[in-house]
Structure 1
């Protein structure tokens, strides 16, 4: 037991997906956190049976790399049946079909898929500029919707989708898998238990050394396959990467940002792209808390991390560790051995320095419990969506998470592009 959350004993790895999900869900949703995590409650539903009425028939719109990643999880999710696929690029469509192992209906135009009365819900894993029109059309067609992050390409579109989803009787879920990530849930409990003291600052970075530009078989496919590097279709690093960390910052601080400032540049990938390859943004939150974010795509040495800091300690959520600000001292004999090994036995100094460098005291940290199968939360998020559709159980909190993270990411883009402070634009009602 850790801070009120029961330890999770998972079944053997060769057990089926149904039992694994049921065991994890039972432990997490049995905790004191459930009342603040309503999007987890569908996981408590009885496992899907073999009856057709227990099956949720899904249409997958967008079968690129992310769509196929979600597809792999859906194929292991009890109660889920992929009934239709949609993509305008045949190679992606064919690859997705091969994973299913049996023929399903194919569509090139997503609107034709929405006309399919046998499809209960859609999974949208398309380029960002298509999220808003597809979500709005799907909700209008009476479909339940799971949409990959970030919510939309513009703030007005974010407002429109969030407003429509809140008024619809259908389930709407955003693809922020950290909402279902075991270590992140434990970290939230530590924050609520006061293990950090009040949050005083959050820092996050996501560094890669990769060119988003992909080789294209023919010039007319440039915009289709390389949409991430074109501002007309993408908002770049802020929506593709920063939106994940912004969602967690908003969640742990229980507030959207008040305002932000930032700088961005294209300082390495000079290949005709018009989205930044280097971004630096500072967000202002209530009570004087700042969230400092940077991302670049020309150096991966530091990788990615999200650090939540308070006077008592630091949580690093990507490496899933807690670092105490004042860790308990080691037993005397261990200290002595350490000093001998380092050759630093205390001696009387004739002259001593007047300051001591502020180096890390706790460099080992305490690991947060993680899923032994290394699920980043995507598996549970798929199970929660499918069960929410089975139960007809909406979670308005999910819409708020989608809206806050989507808008916050776009605030950063506007701040960098226009060289000004950007204030929170208000809610979507």
Structure 2
């Protein structure tokens, strides 16, 4: 696959300069185009991409996928004919797209989002936000440099109960801010607290090469990932391989961890230590694990107890009390006590409004990077099979060059 990424980014830079008339996103903060609808392009037309084809207040003008079957299926679901591409870079050069929805396998998220920001597009990205810690910081820098609006597709900060707690995140945040439970706090995410970790997407350790389907551009599907011979399980179960995902931790981790990070008021920092209890991992295929523990500088902990090792663990515990599902507690009249405290401040929770009015969305590039760093720290600790210390300011591991080599995934030569 011929790929001249440096030349493409140069073209992008020139294109952004040329976008001085048509798109709403370069005409200044507060500008509203004549149409109320935002135009968007979708990169990745599998299940996640097709679920958002008719998002209110927007219309799709372009689709992109390296699988022609997925691409045709998504195009057929739209009322109007749209442009289709098998190379996301061509989609990014379209001048009439306000934002892109990135719904590809995770190993593409950071790269595509970074180039979309440089192309002057706002971004809606599926989780996990990036495939590595360094990639995440670069994405934050690029989004902010080009003054883009970024949304990470997570809803629990916005609405609904937080999984098995049966309690809205805003109420949990209010409780933590009140100090009623004391400090530091420990939050446990496991089956005993309503958070399952199903190991249904484990990778296969033996994958004999298979013929590549005629409808799939496998080389482009791999993109920045190392070349490995095609096998259908790499495509259908991409989360089961370190090169493209990270198992159930990558699949559910950020959805679980981002609200917890918000609840604990850790949106601007990261843990100083991660420990793992897990079997030795295969170099290619993701395996199982029992427990991952993140510890912050102030002593707060997040415990991912996949095996339910502590059967009686509360969802949240502090020096003064404990909280269980359904807002049950060992503290008397907790609801009554909490009523005396203010609600958390409001955030922008409508993406269309955020784009039109140039306001930061509730799940954005900065807090998204921090919650994705939790996922990526856990992945690295699992791959290495050891505990790690982390500097949340420099975003590097301490005294462990092996871990630091995994801060950034090396790109295949054609994608450097």
**Is structure 2 residue 35 aligned with structure 1 residue 53?**
yes
Structure 1 segment 10-409 matched on structure 2, within 5 A: 52-71=34-53, 75-77=54-56, 79-182=57-160, 183-198=168-183, 200-205=185-190, 206-208=196-198, 210-211=200-201, 221-255=232-266, 256-265=270-279, 274-295=285-306, 307-310=315-318, 311-316=320-325, 321-327=326-332, 384-395=350-361, 398-409=364-375
Q: Could you tell me whether the CA contact under 8 Å between 1:54 and 1:390 is conserved in 2? A: no
Q: Could you tell me whether the CA contact under 8 Å between 1:266 and 1:277 is conserved in 2? A: no
For structure 1, the residue ranges without an aligned partner over 5 or more in a row are: 1-45, 329-361, 367-379
The number of equivalent residue pairs is 316
TM-score (norm 2): 0.66
Name the residue aligned to 2:384: 418
Q: Could you tell me whether the CA contact under 8 Å between 1:160 and 1:428 is conserved in 2? A: no
Secondary structure at the residue paired with 1:287?
A: coil
2:97 and 2:126 mapped to 1: Cα distance?
19
For structure 2, the residue ranges without an aligned partner over 5 or more in a row are: 1-29, 161-167, 191-195, 205-209, 214-229, 337-346, 396-416
Question: How far apart are residue 325 of structure 1 and its match?
Answer: 0.9
Residues 1:213 and 1:253: Cα distance change in structure 2 (over 3 Å): same
CA RMSD of aligned residues (A): 3.6
1:239 and 1:232 mapped to 2: Cα distance?
12
Secondary structure at the residue paired with 2:157?
A: helix
TM-score (norm 1): 0.65
| Bigger radius of gyration | 1
Deviations 1:150-191 (A, max 9, x none): 121122111211121222211112223222124212322233
2:78 and 2:314 mapped to 1: Cα distance?
35
Single out whichever of 134-143 and 195-204 deviates more from structure 2: 195-204
1:246 and 1:425 mapped to 2: Cα distance?
19
Question: How far apart are residue 209 of structure 1 and its match?
Answer: 5.7
Q: Could you tell me whether the CA contact under 8 Å between 2:109 and 2:129 is conserved in 1? A: yes
Question: How far apart are residue 395 of structure 1 and its match?
Answer: 5.0
Higher helix share: 1
Higher strand share: 1
Q: Could you tell me whether the CA contact under 8 Å between 1:201 and 1:290 is conserved in 2? A: yes
Question: How far apart are residue 266 of structure 1 and its match?
Answer: 7.3
Residues 1:70 and 1:308: Cα distance change in structure 2 (over 3 Å): farther
Q: Could you tell me whether the CA contact under 8 Å between 2:203 and 2:285 is conserved in 1? A: no
Deviations 1:280-329 (A, max 9, x none): 21111233222110337xx9xx9xx992233334154xxxx20121446x
Q: Could you tell me whether the CA contact under 8 Å between 1:97 and 1:103 is conserved in 2? A: yes
Residues 1:213 and 1:96: Cα distance change in structure 2 (over 3 Å): farther
Q: Could you tell me whether the CA contact under 8 Å between 2:314 and 2:323 is conserved in 1? A: no
Residues 1:423 and 1:395: Cα distance change in structure 2 (over 3 Å): farther
